[in-house]
Amino acid sequence: MADKALICRLIAEKAAASRSLAKDIWTYAELPYEEFRSAARIIEMLRAEGFEIEEGLAGMPTAFRGIFRNGTGKPVMGLLAEYDALEGLGQEAGVAERRCPEGCGAGHGCGHNLLGAGCVAAAVALKDYMKETGMDGTVMLFGCPAEEGAGSKQFIARAGYFDDVDFAYTWHPDDKNEVSADRNVAIIGANFTFEGVSAHAGAAPEMGRSALDAAELTNIGCNYLREHMIDQARIHYAYTDAGGTAANVVPSHTSIKYEVRAPRVHQAQELFLRVVNVAKGAALMTDTSVEYEVTMAFSDYLVNRTLGAVVAEALAELGAPDWSEEDYQLAFDMLHSYKRSHLLPVKESLRELFPDQDPEELMRRPLHSGVLPFEPEKGACVSGSTDVGDVGYATPTVMFEMATACFGFVGHTWQNTAMAGSEIGLKGMLKAAEVMALAAVKTAERPDLIEKARKELLEKNGGSYSCPLPDHMEPPIGRY
């Protein structure tokens, strides 16, 4: 039987090192594919703990894996660490007002400093557990860059690194403690480049062929397309090069980035091809040319139900982080740093989520102090995307949520950066590490569950992982 007390002790003994790692990554706040200091800091810690390191996975300098084997080396337990930050979300830690004295550079507005350090803490605890108990197995920590960019896990999966992994666990900072059955949607992104002919817009407009007109017509066409796609789908765009600032020159070159989302990867692929056709039509109308390059694609994520129950059991046994009155006060201040119009929807969602509790009291002390049940039959489709989905098509995978922020938090905001560097975030991170380590041991002790999870995976992927990216595409380092 898994020794919960031993796991908690092992996590606690190295809690100071885990906290230091999370704080350092928070301070580095490096953008996708540029996480050199963060990756090096994790690698340094893993090497000191006796892990073998393989760097540069799938052609990405900041991707790696740390490996520790004991006994027969079976089963192989994977953990998925992330450590990239977001542009423009720099913020002082633990402060409920906007403070970015160094110019509001990058910040961990999605809490990946906690995500990465928590997975490292779990990997080290599993290593120590195997050494103390003699348990057979391999713990494999995957360093996964650029989740906020073009991703990395799909490249790692395509290269076959998950083929021999028996199961993979990870987590994500959130405002609740749960194993969610919700589906994260698939996403495909590409850069579209239009080429036309420049001319004097006043003296010889008939000589020009406007690449900007083509990009604008693409946007108009996609706006009409939105009426004829499924409700759960999304289309996003952003200009990366509008063709210059001179109004009296017909723009000969424009670049625009498009991303589409849909519940299943095949639905996203179909919608993306419709966007491509719109762009081709816009080029035809303007007598310009268009080329596109797919730069990212994530499969949809859905929890492996068999192993989701194991993680939920571990989460229920360990419970929520132990919040202090200072934590509750900071969470209250953080919640009230959002616009007042945000508070009523938060209260209504709390009323629905916790029907037996007073929503006013929850708003006064807005930190989750319990654990929500795992209800795989009640999963919904959420509009966010993650490259964890690609791991979930390659090996049985579970991603759970742990509270590191106030109720009603908004991801990718300065508030989230502040909480990711606070005591609230660090407490949630250490509890998540306990859950991952305990769940991994519970799973390793049950070969029958691993086999059942494999059968569930077979029903999902048909026997093998199929990467949504073109075979020729390499990680778009410096191009996304």
By the 10 Å C-beta count (0-12 exposed, 13-18 middle, 19+ buried), 89 is classed as buried
Q: Is the pLDDT of residue 344 over 90?
A: yes
Which amino acid belongs to residue 61? P
Phi, psi for residue 40 in degrees, rounded to 5? -65, -35
pLDDT band of 1, cuts 50, 70, 90: confident
User: How far does the chain reach from its first CA to its final CA, in angstroms?
Assistant: 47
Lowest-pLDDT choice from 38-47, 186-195, 375-384: 375-384
Q: Is the pLDDT of residue 303 over 80?
A: yes
pLDDT band of 102, cuts 50, 70, 90: confident
Selected residue with higher pLDDT from 345 and 102: 345
Per DSSP, the three-state class of 382 is strand
Q: Is the pLDDT of residue 478 over 90?
A: no
Per DSSP, the three-state class of 268 is helix
Q: Per-residue pLDDT tens for 395-412?
A: 999 999 999 999 999 999
In the chain, the percentage of residues whose pLDDT exceeds 90 is 96
Q: Per-residue pLDDT tens for 118-133?
A: 999 999 999 999 999 9
Q: Is the pLDDT of residue 101 over 90?
A: no
Q: Is the pLDDT of residue 218 over 90?
A: yes
What pLDDT is attached to residue 383?
A: 85
What's the CA gap between 373 and 18, in Å, rounded? 28
What pLDDT is attached to residue 435?
A: 98
The alpha-helical segments, DSSP class H, found in 207-264 are: 211-225
Domains identified in the chain and CATH numbers? 4-184+300-461 (3.40.630.10), 187-297 (3.30.70.360)
Phi, psi for residue 422 in degrees, rounded to 5? -105, 175
Q: Is the pLDDT of residue 2 over 90?
A: no
